[in-house]
Amino acid sequence: MALPRSADAGGAEPVAHSPLVRGSRGWHAAYRRVVRDAFATVPLYRERWALDGRTDPVLVPGRTGHDGGAIGHGEATRRIPDLVPIGGGSAEPDPLRGLGSVLPRLDAGGLVVVLDGTGARPPADLREGLRGCVLDPNRLTTDHTGALAEINGRLRRRTTVLAVGTDKDLARLAEALEDDTLQVLPTRELSDLGSAGLLHDPLLGFLGNVGDCGRWHVDRRHVYVRETAAGLAFTVLGKASPRLVDILVGDGVPGTVARCPRHATPVLKT
Ligand SMILES: [Zn+2]
């Protein structure tokens, strides 16, 4: 979802209690819209927040809930049908959601290879001119020989191929190729961020990346994050289904949301 143009024009309102984050007014407003809409239309949040309450925003006066109203990752995963809005929508999470907006700029004609063994669909949001595919890292040499041949051909012609996956799966792919010029970008879990890669969660998709400043930036056009007593809670902005609001990625990883001193946009620390 693209925020309205005015989203980047603010900057005065604190976000996650951190001052002077660029665009924070629009970012925070987008989050509050998602929360209010989820409370009105999505069964799990209606049930949880009506009974227990939540903070920021408080939806039922006097009820501020536990952990600010954040939802455990395990519970959200178990209750996907209750994350579908009452009006209907998909009950199938997209583990590759948001990939396009966390990738670095790639040459037109480049190929993005995602290593995923969960049956994910190919990435739907890559920039124009890029192609994407998903390979099951457990079946590279059995089911994907055609794809491996294409990747080898591209690498021989020095066309960009970027592979995204866990360190282990990237090593498997590299081993199955003839050429060693494959570009790789590892996925990272919130609980083990390290210093490079893409922050990924199988339920919420891609949540952020490392900026040229070396800090972990949130994909603020599509994702909101806030600190709660139980850990960092992430929200996918917009109205996609299943609706993912205030989910404790990693089932509760303590961390902070601050302002990047170089980019003035939100960064994470765990
Ligand atoms: Zn930065």
Distance 264 CA to ligand 1 centre (A): 7
The yes-or-no verdict on residue 217 having pLDDT over 70 is yes
What contacts 24+ positions apart, CB below 8 Å, involve 120-126?
120/94, 120/95, 120/96, 121/94, 121/96, 122/96, 123/96, 123/99, 124/94, 124/96, 124/100, 125/97, 125/98, 125/99, 125/100, 125/101, 126/99, 126/100
For the cut 90, the answer to whether the pLDDT of residue 253 exceeds it is: yes
pLDDT in tens, 195-207: 999 999 999 999 9
How far is the centre of ligand 1, averaged over its atoms, from the C-alpha of 250 (Å)? 23
What's the CA-to-centroid distance between 14 and ligand 1, angstroms?
A: 18
Beta strands in the chain (DSSP E): 71-72, 111-115, 131-135, 161-165, 183-188, 198-201, 205-210, 216-218, 223-228, 231-236, 247-248, 256-259, 266-269
**Residue 19 pLDDT greater than 70, yes or no:** no
| 229 SS3 class | coil
Centre of ligand 1 from the C-alpha of residue 10, in Å: 18
* Region 87-109 average pLDDT: 96
From the CA of 214, how far away is ligand 1's center (Å)?
A: 7
pLDDT at 259 over 60: yes
pTM: predicted TM-score of the whole model, two decimal places: 0.90
Q: How confident is the model at residue 21 (pLDDT cuts 50, 70, 90)?
A: low
Average pLDDT over residues 90-109: 96
Dist CA 113 CA 194 (whole Å): 22
Span 226-241, average pLDDT: 96
Q: Is a pLDDT exceeding 90 seen at residue 186?
A: yes
Output the pLDDT for position 11. Answer: 32
Ligand 1 centre to CA of 56 (Å) is: 26
User: For the chain, what is the mean pLDDT?
Assistant: 91
* Ligand 1 center–CA 198 separation, angstroms: 14
pLDDT, mean of residues 133-144: 95
Asked whether 91 and 43 are in contact (CB, 8 A), the reply is no
**Residue 210 in this model has a pLDDT that exceeds 50:** yes
What's the CA-to-centroid distance between 171 and ligand 1, angstroms? 29
Ligand 1 centroid, distance to 104 Cα (angstroms): 14
pLDDT at 4 over 50: no
Q: What pLDDT sits at residue 180? A: 83
